[in-house]
Amino acid sequence: MRLVALFLAAAALPLTYAPAASSPSAVAPTRFSVTVTGQGPDVIFIPGLSSTRDVWAASVGTLAATHRVHLVQLKGFGEPAGANASGPVLKPFVDELAAYIKASGLKAPAVVGHSMGGLAALMLAADHPGTAGKLLIVDSFPFIGPVFGAGDVAAITPRAEQMRAMVAGQADKVTPNFTSRADCSESLPAPAAPVGNMTNSGFGACMMKHGAMASDLRVVAQAMYDDMVTDMRPRLKDIAVPVTVLYPQDDRLIPAAQADKLYAESYAGTRKLTLVRVPGSYHFIMQDQPARFRTELERFLK
């Protein structure tokens, strides 16, 4: 689940991945970079907070044989912050992603987003109708407030401001390593105990360890704040495209019935909704249950 630990630790990251072509758009994005591989129907992958595009590498390794794969990476995560060094991050990113889709001539691409990337996908579909053909949301809530006991944006804003200040206050003390890469394998043994609310696998723990090295804390702080104070629940009814939500469940984290209720209530009002529980997983479903994730991704893209 995307709980408090998501905002206190830099999330998952790099596998070795060698991107091929660059963006097909005539206008270079300023808020993110994107690599494009393959031919076929378009699919866009959006990582979450403090994650680079490499978080998807093991999942999309063979997808380029049948699809044109756009791997997005928010500037400040795995590369210099650029335009994200100050001011709001999330909405400008979503708006620029919509512009990229239109400028590139993409026709209703499938969009896959994890965590904050999932929230961005919801914003894209609601605020820019026609840009996305369908959404795969990987453990993300349309509003994180209830996790903190907050029912609305006003209630969570003081907490969000406090957490932003706490993370931003460390930015001058931590230099991101944008060349960091992790030699992470699906076969790594599971840790003795799950890593917070984030992962129960050695694969995920390895990714998280190196992810902390590749994120600019200025961007982490602001993106975290933007995520926390964004409430998409009233907009879910405006999303006309199909929405599939993969959500994790591990008995050490949350009982199945409670997880089912939590996500069903969170996405109430979504017009074309499919909820899929992934047992044996924490927040990073792609790493905790990689085979199951690939199966669900293939099903989604059919």
Strand duo 21-22 + 32-37: pairing: antiparallel
CA-closest candidate to residue 143, choices 27, 266, 282: 266
Strand duo 32-37 + 68-74: pairing: antiparallel
The total number of structural domains that make up the chain:
1
In angstroms, rounded to a whole number, what is the distance separating the alpha carbons of residues 279 and 179?
A: 34
State the residue range of the domain holding 213.
4-301
Kindly tell me the burial class for residue 193, based on how many C-beta atoms sit within 10 Å of its own C-beta (0-12, 13-18, 19 or more): exposed
The neighbouring-strand residues paired with 277 are 247
The CATH number of the domain holding residue 152 is 3.40.50.1820
**Residues with Cβ < 8 Å from 210, sequence gap 6 or more?**
13, 14, 180, 181, 182, 184
Strand blocks (E) in 142-272: 243-249
pLDDT tens string, the chain, 302 residues long: the values are 433 333 333 333 222 223 334 445 556 899 999 999 999 999 999 999 999 888 898 899 899 999 999 999 999 999 999 999 999 999 999 999 999 999 999 999 999 999 999 999 999 999 999 999 999 999 999 999 999 999 999 999 999 999 999 999 999 999 999 987 767 888 889 888 888 889 999 988 887 777 778 999 999 999 999 999 999 999 999 999 999 999 999 999 999 999 999 999 999 999 999 999 999 999 999 999 999 999 999 999 99
